[in-house]
Amino acid sequence: MRTTILGWSTVSGLILGLIAGLLLFAVLVLAGELASSVIPRLGGRARVVAGVLSFIVLPLAGAVLGWLEGRLKLQ
């Protein structure tokens, strides 16, 4: 029972982090396309940073927060 609660809380946090990352990535790509004429060389580098932030950092942070939430549920 304890492992199930921690597991589901972690997975739900991971999914929420992934959704937040997808939204952030979409906003950054759209903003990069609109501002590409202002800073033409920055677009490629910014997409790599946005991709790492959106698809690795935010889902991991969501998973950690979900796990912590699961621990709070068990206390």
User: Each residue of 2-57: pLDDT tens digit?
Assistant: 899 999 999 999 999 999 999 999 988 888 788 777 666 666 777 888 889 899 99
Give the residue extent of every domain in the chain.
Answer: 2-74
Query: CB neighbours of 66 closer than 8 A, spacing ≥ 6?
Result: 9, 10, 11, 12, 13, 14, 16
Give me the pLDDT at residue 70, please: 95
Give me the pLDDT at residue 40, please: 67
Give me the pLDDT at residue 41, please: 66
Give me the pLDDT at residue 64, please: 97
Taking residues 46-72, report their average pLDDT.
92
Give me the pLDDT at residue 47, please: 81
